Amino acid sequence: MKKQVLSYWLKDSQKKTYPRLEKNLNVDILIVGGGITGILCAYQLAKQNKYRIALVEKNRLYHSTTGFTTGKVTVQHDDIYHQLIKNKGETIARAYYKANSEAVQGLKKIVEEENIDCDWVDTKAILYAFSEEEAKRLQREQNAYDTLGIPYEWLDKETLPFQTLGGLAIPDQGVFHIVRFLDGILNNLNVDIYEKTKIIKTNPTEKGAVAETADHYKISAKHIVLATHYPIYKRFNFYFTKIKPTCSYVAIAHEFAIKPENAYINLIDPVLSIRFLDSADPKLMVAGFGHDVKNYYSYLDQIHKLKAMATERLGAKDFTEEWYNQDYESMDMVPLIGKITDAPLYLATGFRKWGITSAFVASLIIKDLIEGINNQYAYLYDPNRNKNTFKTVCYNFAMLSTVIKTKLLTVPKSIKINPGNGRIIQHKGSKIGLYIDQNGKTYSVKPICTHLGCTLRFNNVTKTYECPCHGSRFNYDGTSLDGPAVRNLTQL
């Protein structure tokens, strides 16, 4: 079969096309960002039946990070509980578990109450070990489960369907079809929705806050929710120093040698995350080989390594879809969710690739803050908490060398580019980004990030320009997709 880079989920999208905003607007609540976080915030707030709500997305709803997830719904976020107990104490670790456990059940309840056909499957989430080093970390995480009272089952290596050193299984978790789930919510969502509407700045006002679009329209609101990876707010211009962009790779195989049940993930790179799709015609989804975006790995090589590992360990073959995804993590592992101190603006970011339960938690915390209700988990996720950890200092110090490295990066003066591919070349002393589509049309841009001027790389998996400094991403035509960069690339 021919391989596709389009997400498995997005090909099933049934959402309608929403208009672009072409007027000024006055609402009670503006939600910026049309991924799962923004849509769930809109859902929770619309249920109150007392707000006029607008949801705006600069591209298409759920076609960024959300549409490229693995669709796991679980409290088992690798070995986070041992690390939280060690670094923040039992109270924080227990609250994190409870918040995400309620999220698993809350998402399942939405599926049932809204009668959404999204292939929800109750499953065990299993944390497993390939190596002795992983087995030691697994033992520490088991001790954390005992301390926190997290229900689990220890699985000996003989009971797992592929070669490991054992695993920790948490029952009553879930997997689902993320796009069908969100389509089910959108079908009954009574809010104003606008696509292709880019917000370029927000500012507090006497009566709330105002957002301005790239087309110079203004949206006035009592509250603005920034369900974007980077908060669009001038006081947070340096927020890129507090969250770290990382990426991972996903592939789907139609043939495999293990029983299609449960969801799995191991602890140490190379990570091999496993789940199954479509019980009527089972498929294997594997994900992993992730890294910080500052690392200059070949995107195609990472996909190849992922598939090779799945073939070796799981008998996987006949891969038909493959893609790349990017997310952000806070420096202390806990997402940043809540109200900005000096303005009626709310943010949610730093989900560390566990965005499904984190998005649900965010939707309830932000709903409660707007409603003036005390949320028992708000303190845990408070975005104003001290984040000046040693890890933050090290990350930003290392980033200086990355910025310099991109400036000194050498590229070929000329190279043959086949249709459907892109490359950055040197021409008359300047770098040029070129992409040729399947019809032979050439797109030419200046491959310099509009955030801080780092030289971009071209990702031939997703046909996008990627910034190795702070994670900004641009479509092959230069359109800004994600990250701290607000402006599009300069077209040549």
The yes-or-no verdict on residue 446 having pLDDT over 50 is: yes
Share of the chain above pLDDT 90, in %: 74
Q: Quickly name the fold that domain 10-69+181-241+333-387 has.
A: FAD/NAD(P)-binding domain (3.50.50)
pLDDT in tens, 364-386: 999 999 999 999 999 999 998 86
Domain segments of the chain as ranges: 10-69+181-241+333-387, 393-482
Let me know: does 290 contact 268? Beta carbons within 8 Å.
no
| pLDDT score, position 461 | 82
Q: How far apart are CA 326 and CA 69, in angstroms?
A: 9
CB count, 10 Å around CB of 112?
10
Orientation angle between helical segments 178-186 and 36-46, nearest 10 degrees: 30
Angle 445-447-451 from CA coordinates, rounded to 5°: 115
Q: How far apart are CA 289 and CA 311, in angstroms?
A: 14
pLDDT in tens, 17-58: 999 999 999 999 999 999 999 999 999 999 999 999 999 999
Q: How far apart are CA 289 and CA 194, in angstroms?
A: 35
CB count, 10 Å around CB of 158?
7
Q: How far apart are CA 457 and CA 479, in angstroms?
A: 15
CB count, 10 Å around CB of 291?
15
- The CATH architecture to which 393-482 belongs is 3-layer Sandwich (2.102)
Element (H, E) at 184: helix 178-186
Let me know: does 301 contact 329? Beta carbons within 8 Å.
no
Let me know: does 122 contact 262? Beta carbons within 8 Å.
no
Per DSSP, 1 falls in state: -
Residue 206: phi and psi, rounded to 5, are -65, -30
Angle 320-326-329 from CA coordinates, rounded to 5°: 140
393-482 has the same fold as 10-69+181-241+333-387: no
| pLDDT score, position 242 | 76
| pLDDT score, position 160 | 95
| pLDDT score, position 370 | 98
pLDDT in tens, 48-88: 999 999 999 999 999 999 999 999 999 999 999 999 999 99
Per DSSP, 70 falls in state: -
Q: Is 14 helix (H, G, I), strand (E, B) or coil?
A: coil
pLDDT band at 1 (very low <50, low <70, confident <90, very high): very low
Residue 277: phi and psi, rounded to 5, are -120, 150
Q: How far apart are CA 433 and CA 420, in angstroms?
A: 14
Residues contacting 130, CB < 8 A, separation 6+? 164, 165, 266, 268, 272
Residue with the two structure tokens 């939707």: 363
Share of the chain above pLDDT 70, in %: 92
pLDDT in tens, 296-325: 788 889 999 999 999 999 999 999 999 989
pLDDT band at 95 (very low <50, low <70, confident <90, very high): very high
Q: Is 403 helix (H, G, I), strand (E, B) or coil?
A: helix
CA distances from 147 to 32, 94, 99, 307, 353 (A): 39, 9, 17, 37, 25
- pTM for the full model? 0.91
CB count, 10 Å around CB of 428?
6
CA distances from 299 to 182, 253, 288, 291, 322 (A): 29, 19, 12, 11, 11
Helical spans, DSSP H, in 89-177? 90-113, 132-148
The answer to which of 125-134, 249-258, 349-358, 429-438 has the lowest mean pLDDT is: 429-438
Q: How far apart are CA 66 and CA 389, in angstroms?
A: 28
Q: What is the mean pLDDT of residues 262-279?
A: 95
Note the maximum CA span of the chain.
65
Let me know: does 330 contact 381? Beta carbons within 8 Å.
no
Q: What b-and-e string marks burial along 74-105, b requiring 16 or more CB atoms within 10 Å of the CB? A: bbbbbbbbbbbbeebeeebbbbbbbbbbbbbe
